[in-house]
């Protein structure tokens, strides 16, 4: 008798990303849940430059953040979730946050929203550089015979970022797959995210804020107000 092993196709990315996470609202909800689970007090979601090639979604939080070992050993470890190990302990702490997600696949929501991802992260209380991870999800779609772990992501570090954060995580999602981020969809997204800050749920939601920003819509609002004046 001899042992054999499973191999994992790079096509798994699409199955647990674009196909399992079925719409943009679920994708955004999963990413914000990750911020909540990272003990963030605030999450800013900015959707900008709509209708252009430079359109992007930026999700930034002031949570616990990650260092390189977290990124390599957890974030890049498919289906791994440290939340599962910590859930029982957290549930016993009165007033503590109950983890919103513990499946280890929420990070693939980035793939649902756009082909490109640039992530900045810095652990709370840690001095030094920000850790930067760049992922091109389209690389996983070139050849299904290529094994998942052999498709590279790019890691680097830098001293400062253009966001007003001391620690936490920023996701810059580019090459957006959905091009219908209009007012109606943004309103529906806001209603979806309200479930995470519902004061009636048994969680620490009262200490968690979500800010949804869309500069394009703000410009239009200002124009309408000016015409009505």
Q: What is the pLDDT along the chain (229 residues), one digit of tens a residue?
A: 989 888 889 888 888 877 888 889 999 999 999 999 899 999 999 998 777 788 999 999 999 999 999 999 999 988 766 655 554 434 443 445 444 444 567 888 999 999 999 999 999 999 999 999 999 999 999 998 898 888 899 999 999 999 999 999 999 999 998 768 888 888 899 888 887 766 445 556 568 899 999 987 766 665 556 555 5
DSSP, res 135: E
What are the backbone dihedrals phi and psi of residue 27, each rounded to the nearest 5 degrees, phi first?
-60, -50
Q: How many other β-carbons are positioned within 10 Å of the β-carbon of residue 144?
A: 11
Please answer whether residues 64 and 88 qualify as being in contact, where contact means their C-beta atoms are separated by less than 8 angstroms. no
Q: Where are the domains of the chain?
A: 12-228
Question: d(Cα 80, Cα 204) in Å, to the nearest integer?
Answer: 24
- Tell me whether residue 168 is exposed, middle or buried, using C-beta atoms within 10 angstroms of its C-beta: 0 to 12, 13 to 18, 19 or more: buried
What are the backbone dihedrals phi and psi of residue 43, each rounded to the nearest 5 degrees, phi first?
-125, 130
Of 171, 159, 144, residue with least CA distance to 8: 144
Q: What is the dihedral of CA 66, 69, 71, 76, to 10 degrees?
A: -150
Please answer whether residues 213 and 45 qualify as being in contact, where contact means their C-beta atoms are separated by less than 8 angstroms. yes
Strand partners, 132: 120, 156
pLDDT value at position 64? 96
Of 148, 113, 157, 119, residue with least CA distance to 135: 119
Coil, helix or strand for 221?
helix
Please answer whether residues 56 and 173 qualify as being in contact, where contact means their C-beta atoms are separated by less than 8 angstroms. yes
Question: d(Cα 195, Cα 199) in Å, to the nearest integer?
Answer: 9
Q: Which H helix or E strand runs over 155?
A: strand 154-158
The fold of 12-228 is Heat Shock Protein 90 (3.30.565)
pLDDT value at position 19? 80
Helices and strands, counts by H and E, the chain: 7, 7
pLDDT value at position 68? 96
pTM confidence score = 0.84
Of 175, 188, 171, 216, residue with least CA distance to 24: 188
Q: How many other β-carbons are positioned within 10 Å of the β-carbon of residue 192?
A: 16
pLDDT value at position 203? 58
Strand partners, 210: 43
């Amino acid at each position: 008798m001899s042992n054999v092993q499973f191999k994992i196709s790079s096509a798994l990315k699409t199955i647990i990303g674009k196909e399992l996470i079925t719409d943009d609202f679920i994708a955004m909800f999963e990413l914000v849940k990750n911020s909540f689970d990272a003990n963030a007090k605030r999450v800013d979601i900015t959707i900008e430059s709509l209708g252009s090639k430079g359109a992007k979604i930026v999700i930034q939080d002031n949570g616990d953040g990650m260092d390189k070992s977290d990124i390599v050993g957890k974030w890049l470890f498919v289906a791994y979730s440290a939340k599962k190990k910590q859930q029982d302990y957290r549930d016993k702490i009165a007033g503590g946050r109950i983890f919103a997600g513990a499946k280890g696949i929420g990070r693939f929501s980035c793939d649902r929203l756009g082909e490109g991802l640039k992530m900045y992260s810095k652990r709370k209380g840690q001095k030094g550089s920000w850790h930067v991870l760049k992922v091109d999800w389209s690389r996983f779609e070139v050849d299904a015979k290529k094994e998942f772990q052999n498709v590279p992501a790019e890691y680097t570090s830098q001293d400062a970022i253009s966001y007003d954060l001391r620690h936490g995580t920023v996701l810059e999602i580019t090459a957006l797959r959905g091009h219908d981020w209009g007012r109606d969809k943004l309103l529906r997204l806001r209603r979806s995210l309200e479930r995470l800050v519902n004061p009636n749920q048994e969680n620490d939601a009262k200490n968690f804020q979500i800010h949804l920003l869309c500069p394009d819509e703000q410009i239009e609002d200002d124009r309408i107000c000016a015409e009505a004046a």
